Amino acid sequence: MSSVTKAAADVHRIVLACEAGMGSSLMVTNALKKKIKKAKLKITVTHSPVHDIPAEADVVVTHAGLATRVKQVAPHAAVVPFKTFLNDPALTKLVKDLSGGNDIVGA
């Protein structure tokens, strides 16, 4: 399965996808929302179980263990995997790349 690349200007919706739609991934969602707001980016961040990722998702952030499933469910989105639920460098890089106008290259 190939990766998807999105231009920063084309990213309007980020979805944080998880196994069941609750729990620790909500903390990641809220942290990402704060980072996006602090960076003054006009991007919507939502939370969804993997099986219910909306078609409008430009970027899907998910735990590395779910990345393969996410690519199958949302082949149109750039998939950004993370390993730790708090302060993962992948999330910091995502916001930095969006702020800098850099392409978002999916895994």
Superfamily of domain 5-99: Response regulator (3.40.50.2300)
Measured in residues, the chain has a length of 107
| Residue carrying structure tokens 């099986």 | 51
State the pLDDT at residue 3.
87
**Amino acid letter at 97?**
D
- Report pLDDT for 1: 60
Q: Is 18 a catalytic residue?
A: yes
Tens-binned pLDDT, residue by residue, of the chain (107 aa): 678 999 999 999 999 998 865 577 788 888 999 999 999 999 999 999 999 999 999 999 999 999 999 999 999 999 999 998 778 899 999 999 999 999 999 98
pLDDT of residue 104: 94
CB 107 within 8 A of CB 1: no
What gap in Å lies between CA 70 and CA 58, rounded to an integer? 12
pTM of the model: 0.91
Q: Per the residue annotation, which of 15, 18, 73, 98 is the catalytic one?
A: 18
